[in-house]
A and B are shown apart, each in its own frame.
Chain A
């Protein structure tokens, strides 16, 4: 936040694991930068690629999808769908002229608050290097 560009990350977190993981980061007072806005979804599998592209075209610098670890999805195979969608999203980003590094899919369980903070930290670093999203007006 010192060097000009302060990236904005939209994080879709599934209600059952990753949102709880992010809560745990709070309960254990694990610090991470303020750049992330968490959106609670029932399952990572309901994050349609269009939502991700929307977020980018409306100016988000990075998008993060967090779901339960494979095998742990509350809806059995929602996160497997997410995994497939992530591939599609990466292809779409190329077409939009956006670096694939701006998008990230992570499995974060309810006990991995630390991991959530790590991921946000890494992403903020990464996005600082990439600079602002060209769609920002």
Chain B
């Protein structure tokens, strides 16, 4: 930006606008009568000079503008030519060289948005003229602007210290910037710390992650804020103000060496009780029936899976109280029961509907539009009676040849389509309502 003193001060004077209409060879002049536009523009308020020329952006074209600025003391310039996305920078630089503020410039787009999109010469000419008139009106109101420099705080904030956040913080810090790394939980690491291997190379997850966790804690440019949350972000690019809530850590951070002795003396005991075998027989629904299920399989050495299958069939899922009761009765830790219960696909920890629908999303079904089937089922069951239908997505039902496939309880339905889903679900619903009525009648 040139220095302000060299520029023409315009604020108190009447604006003097120069208008330059470009022919662009024949690109504009073929459909717009540029001479007429330039002539008409002379009558517009504030217009001092108005000219047309073959190629405004060429050196002689630009020179024309520069000479006029000097000669006529122009305060503003309007060029009617191509799109400002093309030559705005060119002309801005041009008038700046002639001592005008580059913001006292306006462009009328009479090529891309006029001569190239219209055929009728009269109408295109009138449109070009009205675009020029608008540009002149706007130009007369333009005030010179100064470019300013605003200092920025060369600091970065990374939110979330999973592997991505850790790596980002390390990369930024390595380039020499101070970096704040905020993590909501007490430890960095995120999801990756819960994994054993990573896809697709099956590399050891911890072997990649842990060295980076250490780096991030030790890096001189990184300030680690764990167990903290961002509560407010304010400001703008380069000058943000961020509020971070550091949750109480109940130890003196400067003195803590991480020895862990405090845990032995901690007065608060938070043991996850639910994973142990209950000490007393817990309350359970339909105790007799559950007892019967247990005794039915008592000849097995390890009856748990069989019992769980039966429970699942009876209640259509594994109720929590029943699992606790099983833990007590069979003397198996609840954690083991959960391990088994979550391993098998046929067991469910949430209630399933009277009709449990499984939609296959295996490759074969997927390419035949299984996603649409899932959507169709979902929208069809949306306003049915609660507990009537439930939906599960599975990966391969072993019936690829008839895909897209869905299974209702144990019945397979192949070659599904959106309309077939609708028919099937309606017939199931009617069937269910009929049986319900029969029961009532009896």
Contact = CB atoms under 8 A, between A and B. Distances in A.
Interface of A: 1, 15, 19-20, 22-23, 25-27, 29-34, 37-40, 117
Given A19-B85, A34-B123, A37-B130, A117 B117 contact: yes
B113 A23 contact: yes
A38 B131 CA distance: 8
Contacts of B116: 26-27, 29
Given A34-B123, A34-B124, A37-B130, A22 B113 contact: yes
A33 B113 CA distance: 11
Interface of B: 83-85, 109, 111-114, 116-120, 123-124, 126-127, 130-131, 134
Contacts of B83: 19, 23, 26
Q: In the complex, which of the residues B116, B126, B131 has the most CB atoms of chain A within 10 Å of its own CB atom?
A: B116
Contact of B117 (A1, A19, A30, A40): A30
Nearest to A120: B117
A59 to B, nearest CB: 13
Nearest to B130: A37
Nearest to B111: A26
The 8 closest A-B pairs by CB, nearest first: A26-B112, A26-B116, A23-B112, A34-B123, A34-B127, A23-B83, A34-B118, A26-B117
A37 to B, nearest CB: 6
Contacts of A38: 109, 113
B123 A22 contact: no
Contacts of B126: 34
Contacts of A117: 117
B234 to A, nearest CB: 16
Contacts of B134: 37, 39
Nearest to B112: A26
A66 B195 CA distance: 47
Given A26-B112, A34-B124, A40-B109, 7 more contacts: A19-B83, A22-B112, A31-B118, A32-B118, A34-B120, A37-B127, A37-B131
Contacts of A40: 84, 109
Contacts of B85: 15, 19-20, 23
Given A20-B85, A32-B117, A34-B118, A27 B112 contact: yes
B341 to A, nearest CB: 42
A93 to B, nearest CB: 23
A78 B119 CA distance: 35
A27 B130 CA distance: 21
16 contacts: A19-B85, A20-B85, A22-B113, A26-B112, A30-B117, A31-B118, A31-B119, A32-B118, A33-B118, A34-B118, A34-B123, A34-B126, A34-B127, A37-B127, A37-B131, A40-B84
A129 B131 CA distance: 26
Contacts of B111: 26
Contacts of A29: 116-117
Contacts of A33: 118
